[in-house]
Amino acid sequence: MRILYVGYGLGFDWPIKYYFTPQKLVNGLTRLGHSVVAFNDRDVARYSNIFRSQKFGVKKMNEKLLEMYKTYRPHMVMLGHCKNVPNETLAEMRAINPDVRITYRNVDPLHSAQNSRDIMQRVGHVDTIFITTAGDALSRFAHPKTKVSFMPNPVDPALETERAYQNPQADVDFLFLGSVLRDQHDHRAILAKYLVDHSDGMKLHIGGAGINSDLVFGADFYDLLGRSKMGLCMNKTEDYYLYASGRMSQYMGSGVLAFIPEGPQFEDVLGNDSFISFKEKEELLDKIRYYLAHDDERVKIARTGCERVHDYFHVDKVAQYIIERTFDLPLSMDYKWPTTLY
């Protein structure tokens, strides 16, 4: 097929975050044999006017998007977080080709009222919506014209190439990187500060997480993963079933022993032998110390987790699932994540 990906990513500054979900999905769709063209709505809007303003460039950007659509004639349009593209543009796409299928994917947490509004805005205008939260929380978006389903954060073998558990020179005992949460309480900062205050000789690398600005991007990010024995996969919320940021797939896919709060219940999919769960910060600290002292156990669990997410959450499988649900095709394999449609 010809597939048009519309959203933030693959733009002028994309090498900084070349391992984010858009690039993974483009890679997966391409490996499946499809042609993929990407359109970065933010960059095109920004460079469509002399002020380099997204706001002033939105109208021109949508005109350019429709020009590309007419030229490329995609069979499927995949939308990311492209707020600059209104549903009226989608309607024009359908007017040009009534057979086109349009899907929207959203990787942000549902506890955000704004994110829930963003999803609801696409309901009834796209054929399918895929959200990185599972369970009945998705039922609120059900609509006769739109099917809603869970998708895991994908792992890409072209990107998650590090194997930290095989690195005898790994010099970071525990890692946590997290962007700053603006205008909201950041519970992660409390935990991060607790770990720093009780590190007792452990070598921690904490970037962001509400306590500093030492974030790492680009190839340096994966270099750091390859040097890290263990890492914290803690999200903006732990209250939604199977919700995780891309951090979990990146850490586990790179062979880092992942520590995940109990709330999302990932053991339902990944089992109890591929990561370490915890409830309270004291339990987390005790388990970090334990696995630092029991290196063979750390390596075994990290290897199991790495192999499992590369199998279960392989981006080619995620991309195939999106296609099958969007085109109402029978499922081609026994996917390891919940496949309920709402």
Model pTM?
0.96
- Which pLDDT value is given to residue 16? 86
Residue 334 lies in a domain: no
CATH number, position 74: 3.40.50.2000
- Res. 13: pLDDT tops 80: no
- Is the residue at 122 inside a domain? yes
Based on the fold, state whether residues 124 and 227 are members of the same structural domain.
Answer: no
Residues 257 and 319 in one domain: no
Q: How far apart are CA 27 and CA 12, in angstroms?
A: 18
Write down the pLDDT at residue 213. Answer: 84
Query: What confidence category does residue 268 fall into, taking pLDDT thresholds of 50, 70 and 90?
Result: very high
The domain that holds 170 is classified in CATH as 3.40.50.11660
As for how many domains the chain has, the answer is 2
271/130 same-domain check: no
- Could you read off the pLDDT of 250-267 as tens digits, one per residue? 999 999 999 999 999 999
pLDDT (tens digit per residue) in 89-114? 999 999 999 999 999 999 999 999 99
* Cβ atoms of residues 133 and 150 within 8 Å: yes
Same domain, 78 and 213: no
In terms of residue numbers, what domain contains 57?
2-154+314-326
**Is the model's pLDDT at 186 over the cut of 90?**
no
Question: By the 8 A CB rule, do 106 and 8 touch?
Answer: no
pLDDT tens per residue, range 20-42: 999 999 999 999 999 999 999 99
Same domain, 50 and 138: yes
Q: What is the pLDDT of residue 204?
A: 96
115 within a domain of the structure (yes/no): yes
Q: Burial of 339 by CB count in 10 Å (0-12 exposed, 13-18 middle, 19+ buried)?
A: middle
- The 10s digit of each residue's pLDDT in 282-329 is 999 999 999 999 999 999 999 999 999 999 999 999 999 999 999 999
Rounded-to-integer distance, Cα 17 and Cα 129, Å: 24
One domain for residues 283 and 207 = yes
**How many angstroms separate the CA atoms of 67 and 48, rounded?**
14
Domain shared by 134 and 169, yes or no? no
Chain mean pLDDT for the chain: 95
Residue 294 vs residues 63, 100, 287, 291, 306: alpha-carbon distances, Å: 59, 54, 10, 5, 19
Residue 213 falls within a domain, yes or no? yes
> How far apart, in whole angstroms, are the C-alpha atoms of residue 151 and residue 134?
8
Q: Are residues 84 and 187 in the same domain?
A: no
Q: What is the largest CA-CA distance in the chain?
A: 64
Q: pLDDT at residue 190 above 80?
A: yes
pLDDT of 237 strictly over 90: no
β strands within the chain, DSSP E = 2-6, 35-39, 76-79, 101-106, 128-131, 147-150, 172-178, 204-208, 228-232, 257-261, 276-278
Backbone angles phi, psi at 37, to 5 degrees: -115, 135
